[in-house]
Amino acid sequence: MPLYSGHHANEKAEAEDGESRTWSMEMQGDEPAGQRYGDAERVGHGVDTGADDEAQERLLSGGVEGIYVAHRSDGSPRKGRRGACNRSARRCCVIVVPAALLLTLLFALLRNSNTSTQAAKPALEIEAEGSANTTSFSPIDALVDPSVFQLAASGSEWDVSQAVRTRTYDWTISEVIAAPAGVSKRMLVVNGHSPGPTIEANVGDRIVVRVRNRMINGTAIHWHGQPLSGAGQNYMDGTSGVSQCPIPPGASFTYEWTVRTSGTYWWHAHFEGQYSDGLYGALILHDPKDHLQLIVPGSRAKEEMPSESALIAQQSRYHHDRVILMSDIWNDLSSAYLEGYMSFEGPPGGVQGDEPVPDCGIVNGIGHCAGGLQHSPASLPVLPDKTYRLRLLNVGSLAEIRFEIEGHSLIVVEADGTEVVPHRVKSLTLAVAQRYSVLVQMDRGAEGQRKWRIKADLSDSMFGYEPEHLIKEQAMVLQYEQPVKHDETEGSTASLPVPDHQIDQSLDSSALVPLIPIAAPNKVDRQETLLVSFGLTSSSVYRAFFNETSWEMPPANGSSVMALRNQKPYPDQLVFKNDQTIVMDLIINNEDEGDHPMHIHGYVPQLLGTGAGFFSYDQPSLDLKQDFPNPMRRDVWTVPGFSWTVIRLTLDLPGLWTFHCHLREHMAIGLVAAFEVLPSQMGDVPSANRALCDAQSKI
């Protein structure tokens, strides 16, 4: 099967016998040099297979050399994370590219790292609209719009069964100075707000979003978790440099796509690290066929409730629907941190390879950083004796976030858009980009105790160092508007039949089971392996690698999909291609000690298994030939450090779909690949997308 990759040639590494070995990309016969993985070739970096075998043995035995000894199976925090090192000692660093070429690439990367946003026009055209290069201060009550956290579907005017309609949004993106956590910083906002507008729709609806760019840099907006099926839909995926060129400053671009799935999702900028600067919002999608339904008197959603067991039926109904957006935050724009992360010295307080640690966190747009003004925390007003569906989203860039409501238990009913068998817990942890829905019974608001603390604490499990000023504890307030009367309200889940001794203290995500069973396909057409590693280039620049290839973004006037359509793929990109619909098993071997929240655009994979060390086809822990009657399905899953994960997916949506780690810095330094699916059915690149690239060429 064709596979494109690159970024490396003519490398040297010391063999165990002390001799210098040289690898290159020269063709030998009909095959490129490199090690074959299933039907695909690892092209680009030559591989010392002996060194790989040794590394695999170390991983499988649970031990590694030097600073790489770091077991996290006990859940302990990861301190002193990677550290600068030499690949000749670890056999997992990568020496790359002649120095002159690397410096050129690095200069281009750093030059582009100062970018922020761009745009296009309604009828999918480009129009010139001068960018506003002024920055004003936005107070907290102007920055945060509380209405984005209260869904329209909680009101009687929303009908989940209404006829399909077009929902149109008009966004202007700009830069402001604001202090969401008490410290003034530059932020990127939509219509003056961060978080941005909530998009709410039903399955079948047409979404039209016009994005105007009033910043000095380019941008693109991605619709996380959406299977954009249909002719030309992949071009609306909103991934800068892949499905489109960035929207230039002073222009506008219109995204149009159709809702195909339901659940809790989000939209965010997919250009550099812009979403961590404030460009994100909730994307909430409804379906009358969902088991989870809002109780609205007289509505079909109430009358047509599913007839499962009493427990599941009760735990599928709720009175109110709310959004809680949680994030880590830095006191500067994301572009200010990338250079330090990649440098030989590493970020302030850390060493090379340590991701910049955030300053604090925010919940629904408000938080508290050290030395900042004290804002009143965000609040969640609730009515007593009602059941609330809380849609929890980690929209951060690095930290896992632990969520808990004092005095209340949480019934987990959805994960990343997949309804799951109800699971009651005291708390749960969300990796970056993950989402959960929980049902909460508001039955603890007696007189004298009408305020409860909602915790959204940053976990330090992803931190390589811990600054003294870091504030991990963040919160909002759950406030009962009236005292609890304990009346038996119709449809209330205030007395669900779940004994206290069956409540878990924290959620074990591996125990989640989809409510609607979907068996994994038995016939697998193809297997591929991705090896995750980090290392230094020949210029001591820190990079991330899939199969020894570190993804380089195209120039601003180019996109990967246009390059592939023109039969001129970029050399420094790992792309798996299939010309026919196939079922693929993707094996991810993590050679790094850190956890990685992985995400693929356009698809919701089935998770077959995970384990310590490298995946071995003959190990008894996972027989890929066995039946998987109902594996978990989600679009963001964590591959633990020094471990493997296997996913199964049916590649049937035409387009170029990005696969990446969702940590901000890891995307920026190359932990990205792509799947080119059914290219003959992708259709021509829309004229508006081409216009974006043409406009960039003139900048």
Which domains does the chain carry? 3-112+519-687 (2.60.40.420), 137-292 (2.60.40.420), 324-510 (2.60.40.420)
Q: Nearest 5°: phi and psi at 543?
A: -135, 160
Confidence of residue 476 (pLDDT cuts 50, 70, 90): very high
Task: Give mean pLDDT, residues 106-119.
Answer: 38
Across the range 211-237, mean pLDDT stands at 95
Structure tokens at 355: 């991701």
What is the CB-side half-sphere exposure of residue 335 using CA atoms within 13 A? Answer: 16
Q: Which residues contact residue 54 at a Cβ distance below 8 angstroms, ignoring those fewer than 6 apart? A: 91
Distances (CA, A) of 245 to 97, 493, 695: 26, 49, 9
Task: With a cut of 60, say whether residue 2 has pLDDT above it.
Answer: no
Q: Is the pLDDT of residue 290 over 80?
A: yes
Per-residue pLDDT band for 539 (boundaries 50, 70, 90) equals confident
Confidence of residue 664 (pLDDT cuts 50, 70, 90): very high
pLDDT of residue 276: 96
Comparison of pLDDT for 118 and 391, the residue scoring more = 391
Name the more confident of 102 and 582: 582
pLDDT band at 132 (very low <50, low <70, confident <90, very high): low
Instruction: Kindly state the percentage of the chain with pLDDT values over 70.
Output: 74
Residues whose CB falls within 8 Å of the CB of residue 48, separated by 6 or more in sequence, listed in order:
13, 15, 21, 23, 91
Q: What is the pLDDT of residue 218?
A: 96
Can you tell me the distance from the alpha carbon of 195 to that of 208, in angstroms, rounded to the nearest whole number? 19
pLDDT of 126 higher than 70: no
Distance CA 550, CA 6 (A): 8
Distance CA 649, CA 583 (A): 6
CA distance 355 to 360: 15
- What are the beta bridge partners of residue 676? 577, 656
Q: What is the pLDDT of residues 480-505, one digit of tens each?
A: 998 777 544 444 444 444 444 456 78
State yes or no: pLDDT of 133 exceeds 90: no
Which of 2-6, 147-151, 620-624, 657-661 has the lowest average pLDDT?
2-6
- CA–CA gap between residue 664 and residue 599 (Å, rounded): 12
The pLDDT tens digits for 292-332 are 998 865 444 444 444 445 555 566 889 999 999 999 999 99
Pairing of strands 280-286, 263-269: antiparallel
Average pLDDT estimate for 210-232: 95
pLDDT higher than 50, residue 532: yes
Among 24-33, 52-61, 451-460, the range scoring the smallest mean pLDDT is 24-33
Looking at the DSSP bridge assignments, the partners of residue 293 are 317
Q: Is the C-alpha dihedral spanning 627, 641, 279, 364 positive or negative?
A: positive
Check pLDDT > 60 for residue 4. Answer: no
Predicted confidence band at 217 (pLDDT cuts at 50, 70, 90)?
very high
Q: Which region among 91-95, 408-412, 553-557, 593-597 has the lowest average model confidence (pLDDT)?
A: 91-95
Quick check: 603 and 586 in contact, CB under 8 A? no
Mean pLDDT, all residues of the chain: 81
pLDDT in tens, 567-620: 788 888 999 999 999 999 999 999 999 999 999 999 999 999 999 999 976 665
How much is the pLDDT for 698? 85
Question: In 213-357, which ranges are continuous DSSP H helix?
Answer: 300-303, 310-314, 335-342
Least confident of 207-211, 296-300, 695-699: 296-300
